[in-house]
Amino acid sequence: MLKQINGLHHVTSLASSAQENNSFFTKTLGLRRVKKTVNFDAPDVYHLYYGDAAGAPGTVMTYFPFPHAARGRAGTGEVGTTAFSVPRGALPYWQDRLDTFNVAGLTRSERLGEARLAFKGPDGDGFALVETEDSRPPWAAEVPEDVAIRGFHSADMRLSPRDAQASAELLRFMGYSREDTTDNVTRFRIEGGNDAQVIDITEVDAAPAAQGAGSVHHIAFSVDDRAAQQEVRRALLDTGYHVTPVIDRDYFWAIYFRTPGGVLFEVATNEPGFDRDEDLAHLGEALKLPRQHEHLRDKLEQLLEPITD
Ligand code: ZN
């Protein structure tokens, strides 16, 4: 069993409009945009990052907005819900706030002793806010500090029963322990993790998901540094997983592999972080390009939809 993984690092999803996506995360949910860059593998598309003040690992929701992309179809083999943590007693505030912003799909429930408020993102993205103890300091520009989002609570993988078994084994290998089960949901947690240390597996008999706007593209797990990442990579390769080489994403180093259920997992380093190329006070304001795409700047600034804050 691996000991290097701290919990979630970031979650990356697909969107259909950069402006709508930016407004939803910075205004409606009150996160900070911590980076405005492009998809390093397809630089004519933005890569937008939202999180806490510094974009700490375990708080960062990221998007590839493809203009006018068709919506995805929910199903198995994907992360169906990304959950953020909020302080105990915060959900009535959020229910009012999200209602005022005309957010769809507001549904209160309880799971494993925690109150949840489910809601949909602009492209039908599955989200929830979960009331829990969480000492992380929030970014509190739009939302009062006592109720603001602290970071990720968990990601919920929707899997067929067979894939659920195999994915549970993978999570245990990665350092997660089964904590509890309720109905068709099994909860896994990394003890001593980074506060974003929960993964839920929801077993459903359904058709496979089709990826599109509103779908999660991949979830990334945090390791401290490149040495820890190499240890994880070696262990996954030895277990038979097809793992990519280490890729430099400027703000972290990344490796990717697919779970038995088809969900794309990444393992990302906490180093060097989002302040490596801009001042913390102005994080996320300017369009930052990786060195290999800097020569495209004029073209990309023409091509990319402007985002007004
Ligand atoms: Zn990623």
Residues 162-179: tens digit of each pLDDT: 999 999 999 999 999 999
Q: Cα of 175 to ligand 1 centre, how many Å?
A: 20
Q: Cα of 268 to ligand 1 centre, how many Å?
A: 7
Please give the share of the chain, as a percent, with pLDDT higher than 70.
100
Dist. CA 248–CA 256, nearest whole Å: 12
Q: Cα of 107 to ligand 1 centre, how many Å?
A: 29
Dist. CA 309–CA 304, nearest whole Å: 15
| pLDDT on residue 164 | 97
Q: Cα of 86 to ligand 1 centre, how many Å?
A: 24
Report the CATH fold assignment for 7-303.
Answer: 2,3-Dihydroxybiphenyl 1,2-Dioxygenase; domain 1 (3.10.180)
Q: What is the mean pLDDT of residues 98-125?
A: 98
Handedness of CA 203, 204, 210, 216 (dihedral sign): negative
| pLDDT on residue 122 | 98
Q: Cα of 81 to ligand 1 centre, how many Å?
A: 17
In terms of C-beta density within 10 A (0-12 exposed, 13-18 middle, 19 or more buried), how is residue 198 classed? buried
Closest CA to 202 of 167, 170, 151, 152: 167
Q: Cα of 254 to ligand 1 centre, how many Å?
A: 7
pLDDT tens digit sequence for 19-64 = 999 999 999 999 999 999 999 999 999 999 999 999 999 999 999 9
Q: Cα of 92 to ligand 1 centre, how many Å?
A: 32
Q: Cα of 252 to ligand 1 centre, how many Å?
A: 9
Dist. CA 133–CA 150, nearest whole Å: 10
Q: Cα of 161 to ligand 1 centre, how many Å?
A: 26
Q: Cα of 218 to ligand 1 centre, how many Å?
A: 6
| pLDDT on residue 170 | 98
Structure tokens at 38: 């492009």
Ramachandran region of residue 208, left (φ > 0), alpha (ψ -120 to 50) or beta? beta
- pLDDT tops 90 at residue 155: yes
Q: Cα of 220 to ligand 1 centre, how many Å?
A: 6
Q: Give the contacts of 73 (CB within 8 A, at least 6 positions apart).
A: 209, 210, 212
pLDDT tens digit sequence for 113-132 = 999 999 999 999 999 999 99
Q: What is the mean pLDDT of residues 88-115?
A: 98
| pLDDT on residue 137 | 97
Q: Cα of 266 to ligand 1 centre, how many Å?
A: 6
pLDDT tens digit sequence for 60-82 = 999 999 999 999 999 999 999 99
| pLDDT on residue 309 | 79
Confidence of residue 265 (pLDDT cuts 50, 70, 90): very high
Q: Cα of 259 to ligand 1 centre, how many Å?
A: 15
CB 261 within 8 Å of CB 79: no
